[in-house]
Structure 1
């Protein structure tokens, strides 16, 4: 546990799998479940950058509106789709219609 604590202080962004790989390089045979349990017991968890979904990004280029002067006169001449996302605890899901 001391080695894990020292490694965490040097690399706080590394998670369970990299911690397991570090211990394997030292010759300590351990699986990811045990590493996860020990890290939880010590109160350590990887520091990840926060998601920034609010920041609006500017478009790289302007997409032309192709239907501006088009006269729709028959079925199946124009199709459309809408995509949105639904926030869930582990990220988000796409919803298309």
Structure 2
């Protein structure tokens, strides 16, 4: 079930009218639900918006925010820190952990 995160952790949208000109300027992270016979698996992917390169991905059987944070930290360690990380305002991305 999708739910909006806590208001104190909702951040402004930074991409409006932004000219994306180089790698590591903007990464986009999102979760897709993969239906299974007995529930769901969750595919999280991070893409560099400029190059369209997948900088990280994982499959999990839970939506806990620690899973996405771990993936992000691994991606930053491997490719460097992006200037902006863009996501929806779901509970995983509007939490104290994130």
TM-score (norm 2): 0.32
Q: Which has the higher contact order (CA 8 A, sep 6+)?
A: 2
- Structure with the higher strand share, 1 or 2: 2
- Structure with the higher helix share, 1 or 2: 1
TM-score (norm 1): 0.32
Which structure has the bigger radius of gyration?
Answer: 1
